[in-house]
Amino acid sequence: MSWLTRLRNVFRADEVSTEIQREMAFHVAERMDELIQSGATPEAARREAERRFGNDLVQRQITREGDVLVSIGNIPIEDQTFGQRFRQQFGSREGAPIEIKVKRGEQDLTLQTRVRMAARVETRMEAVSGAGAKAVRIRSGILRGTVGN
């Protein structure tokens, strides 16, 4: 798994956990199918497939262990103002060198890369004449940042 994939996975931990569970269930099901084809009953096949696969909790932990993102630049990931500080420090520094610190097991790793900017898209919301009351409330909530709260 590339470090970029691991970095992305830090920000989507719930999704990764679901993917791991789905993948593990797939492997157990495949093993069960093989055992049933070789003559085992479905219940015996399930027990044997799970036994061969090993402890579910341990397997999930082993799979989850990997790189832990520590900081980007000199900004700790746990910092509540990470996004704001990152934009302030690197927001206008296209091509600037940047360090990404990762913990892999007992090792502390430092990855060197450069800041790459994506295109920034700005939108403008305008009121539409004849919009219903609900549309007006939604637009107002979006502008205040209170939609879904």
pLDDT tens digits for 70-126? 888 888 888 888 888 888 888 777 888 888 888 776 778 888 888 877 655 566 667
Residue 140 lies in a domain: no
Q: Domain containing 91: what range?
A: 67-114
pLDDT in tens, 40-72: 999 999 888 888 877 766 666 656 566 677 888
Mean pLDDT value across residues 129-146:
72
Residue 141 lies in a domain: no
Count up the domains in the chain and report the number.
2
Q: C-alpha angle with apex 17: 16 to 21, nearest 5 degrees?
A: 115
Residue 123 lies in a domain: no
Which among 64, 82, 98 is the end of a domain?
64
Higher per-residue confidence, 37 vs 92 = 37
Give the pairing type, strands 67-72 and 75-76: antiparallel
Higher per-residue confidence, 35 vs 131 = 35
Does 9 share its domain with 41? yes
Residue 128 lies in a domain: no
Say if residue 32 is exposed, middle or buried (CB neighbours under 10 Å; 0-12, 13-18, 19+): buried
Does 14 share its domain with 59? yes
